Chains A and B, each alone.
Chain A
């Protein structure tokens, strides 16, 4: 029998549907955005977040009570939830945003996530997010969510050790120039760095099983939140092109080019 004093862990993993990382994106001629009629998939850092939640359950067994995934996005973002469910999450929440709506900002998303967390009857002990989405490259949502909730935060995590009984987590973070280890009290917001883990591929039976897992549909109005961006995107343009391709035949020619550019060896 389990001691009743132990509060079991409920984990929430927000995921985002983004243009697939391998796609070479193209800017639309109207300069309003990029061509989104391309392959999409789960933001790579979010895959790492889902993987970490599933691994935590593999390590902690029954001490992890639930793993919920949530996405705030257009109709098609439901596919991203299914992927997360196939990786091992239990259930999903889809806050559906009209396809025509402008992409919400991290602040709006953080407020939506706060509202989702406040609706959870059993509460949420741990939120694991990706450190950034590879489309807007903002790297803000996790920190904003932690601020709104006034929870502890551990960004850019490369190692997470949770002690559910003590309600603490030791997190190793990647910082400029090295690593830093923190001991954080739960509830906690963690954002994942690349080296936290290697996400698994969903197996076919798990993909089939995921189709039966529940997804709750909500609207921003249900959460009483407004996702209208506060910043105005004036335009999106192509970056200046580099004119590369100048090849040389030998190391001597290479050195001549370096000299031409004024680059000389240092004397030690």
Chain B
């Protein structure tokens, strides 16, 4: 590594010295049913902005990994894809995968940054790994800047439900900089058939007497676009009265717009919608092209999840509802008249 070729002239030698190891990010590529999560693709984009090498890591059961690795190798911006397969990795249990990360990220590791989506799975794993390595982590970043000469990385991240933005610096004293990425703040990295990243297999680290066992997973079935990555979202609140009117009112509008359906916490708590549809500080953060808030008053916690949407439309009976302060287009009307009328006129 430190071998210097005599032919190097002074300036490039200096530059080489200044960036002695250069940033090298390890990006955790999550996948489900053979498809790489869109949140991980956004994390990859964020990792590229560090300006150095980018390695992706794919972990899973033996039957899951192979296909995903082939897809990962075609992603623009990845230099290498490393992968490790074990039956123990099938459900990404933090207790099972943490030892593998610890091995990869030990003192002699080439990596300078560890990057993932701010997804429920990565959120469970990354802080555990960071703590095992005695390092802090930066959550849910919306932008970053790496200074190669000082080896410091500066991030911005929302705090207080998005009501303030903190600028946080991970100094050079931190050997590894862990961060999770808000996927709506970075474009998803694209596939490119002409690229082919290198590939490397890593032996799994088997954990004897794993203290946690996976019992089952129940995924909410839906034909609609996935809420977190949809370009259009139609969202309903408490004013929808019950689960039936929630669905019968929102579904036709979502259909005509090709939109995902979301919900406020009030609607979820009242049982109108499944909690995987919740938009807000404690649910999903979305930033679609179009967000239609129907019968949602606009509590701080809800706004935290949608105020970066490009165009916000609000339909609410109460002209004083806080949602109108952020809505680009507000209509004060009874949603039971306005929404069906909107659907009819959009169909024409």
A interface residues (Cβ-Cβ under 8 A, vs B): 19, 21-22, 24-25, 27, 34, 105-107, 110, 131-132, 134-141, 143-148, 151-156, 158, 170, 173-185, 188, 193-195, 229-239, 242, 244-255, 257-258, 261, 263, 265-266, 268
Verify B345–A255 contact, CB threshold 8 A.
yes
Task: Given A177-B276, A181-B215, A242-B307, answer yes or no on A265-B327 (Cβ-Cβ < 8 Å).
Answer: no
Give a binary string over B320-348; 1 marks a CB under 8 Å from any A CB, 0 the rest: 00001111111111000010011001110
Verify B138–A231 contact, CB threshold 8 A.
yes
Verify B212–A155 contact, CB threshold 8 A.
no
Q: Which of A134, A147, A152 contacts B212 (CB 8 A)?
A: A152
Q: Which of B125, B212, B346 contacts A183 (CB 8 A)?
A: B212
User: A residues within 8 A CB of B345?
Assistant: 251-252, 255
Q: How far is the CA of A110 from the CA of B133 in the complex (A)?
A: 13
B64 at the interface (CB under 8 A from A): no
User: A residues within 8 A CB of B218?
Assistant: 178-180
Q: Which interface class (under 10, 10 to 19, 20 to 34, 35 or more) fits B?
A: 35 or more
Verify A180–B159 contact, CB threshold 8 A.
no
30 of the cross-chain contacts (CB-CB < 8 Å) are A24-B300, A25-B160, A34-B160, A106-B137, A137-B158, A140-B137, A143-B124, A143-B131, A144-B127, A146-B94, A147-B128, A147-B131, A155-B94, A174-B276, A178-B276, A181-B215, A181-B216, A182-B213, A231-B169, A231-B170, A233-B168, A234-B167, A239-B163, A245-B325, A248-B330, A258-B329, A263-B232, A263-B290, A265-B257, A265-B347
Q: How far is the CA of A228 from the CA of B331 in the complex (A)?
A: 50
Q: How far is the CA of A236 from the CA of B163 in the complex (A)?
A: 10
Q: Which of B121, B139, B161, B312 contacts A138 (CB 8 A)?
A: B139
Task: Given A234-B169, A265-B346, answer yes or no on A137-B281 (Cβ-Cβ < 8 Å).
Answer: yes
Verify A233–B166 contact, CB threshold 8 A.
yes
Q: How far is the CA of A151 from the CA of B307 in the complex (A)?
A: 38
Q: How far is the CB of B55 from chain A (nearest CB, A)?
A: 22
Verify A178–B219 contact, CB threshold 8 A.
yes
- Chain B binding surface, main DSSP class: mixed
Verify B160–A143 contact, CB threshold 8 A.
no
Q: Which of A153, A239, A251 contacts B164 (CB 8 A)?
A: A239
Verify B330–A244 contact, CB threshold 8 A.
yes
Q: How far is the CA of A132 from the CA of B301 in the complex (A)?
A: 13
User: A residues within 8 A CB of B255?
Assistant: 268
Verify B330–A258 contact, CB threshold 8 A.
no
B interface residues (Cβ-Cβ under 8 A, vs A): 32, 91, 93-95, 98, 119-121, 123-132, 134-140, 154, 157-171, 173-174, 211-220, 226, 228, 232, 255-258, 265, 268-269, 275-276, 281-282, 284, 289-290, 300-301, 307, 310-313, 324-333, 338, 341-342, 345-347
Q: How far is the CA of A249 from the CA of B311 in the complex (A)?
A: 18
Q: How far is the CA of A250 from the CA of B342 in the complex (A)?
A: 10
Question: Which of B159, B214, B232, B269 has the most C-beta atoms of chain A within 10 angstroms of its own C-beta?
Answer: B159
User: B residues within 8 A CB of A147?
Assistant: 98, 127-132
Verify B331–A248 contact, CB threshold 8 A.
yes
Q: Which of A105, A134, A244 contacts B328 (CB 8 A)?
A: A244
Verify B342–A251 contact, CB threshold 8 A.
yes
Q: How far is the CA of A253 from the CA of B120 in the complex (A)?
A: 40
Task: Given A235-B167, A239-B164, A246-B329, answer yes or no on A180-B91 (Cβ-Cβ < 8 Å).
Answer: yes
**Contacts beyond the supplied A230-B173, A244-B330, A261-B290: 17 A-B pairs with Cβ under 8 Å:** A21-B300, A136-B159, A143-B123, A147-B98, A148-B132, A153-B124, A154-B212, A176-B228, A176-B284, A180-B217, A180-B218, A194-B282, A230-B136, A231-B138, A239-B163, A245-B325, A246-B329
Question: Which of A136, A144, A183 has the most C-beta atoms of chain B within 10 angstroms of its own C-beta?
Answer: A144
User: B residues within 8 A CB of A247?
Assistant: 324, 329-332
Q: Which of A137, A153, A181 contacts B160 (CB 8 A)?
A: A137
Verify B139–A258 contact, CB threshold 8 A.
no
User: B residues within 8 A CB of A253?
Assistant: 331
User: B residues within 8 A CB of A261?
Assistant: 290, 310-311
User: A residues within 8 A CB of B268?
Assistant: 195
Q: Which residue of A lies closest to B91 (CB)?
A: A180
Task: Given A140-B137, A182-B212, A235-B167, answer yes or no on A175-B311 (Cβ-Cβ < 8 Å).
Answer: no
User: A residues within 8 A CB of B95?
Assistant: 152-153
